[in-house]
Amino acid sequence: METYKTLAVFAQTWGLVYFVALFLAVLAYALWPSNKTRFDKAAHIPLRED
C-alpha cells in the first residue's frame, strides 16, 4: 500500500509542475509581442464582411 501512496504523491507533485509549466508556456505564446498582429487579425474575423 505504501507504493500507491508514493505513486500518488509523485503524480500529484509532478502533474502540478507539468500543468504550471504548460500554462506558462501558453501564456508566453499568447503575450509574445510578435504574435500581436496574428491575434489582432484573428480577432477581427467575425467582423469582416466577405
* pLDDT at residue 47, rounded to an integer: 92
Q: Is the pLDDT of residue 50 over 80?
A: no
Fill in the amino acid letter for 37. Answer: T
Q: Could you tell me the pLDDT band of residue 1, with boundaries at 50, 70 and 90?
A: low
Position 33 pLDDT exceeds 80: yes
CA 11, distance to chain mean position in Å, is 19
Place of cell 505504501: 2
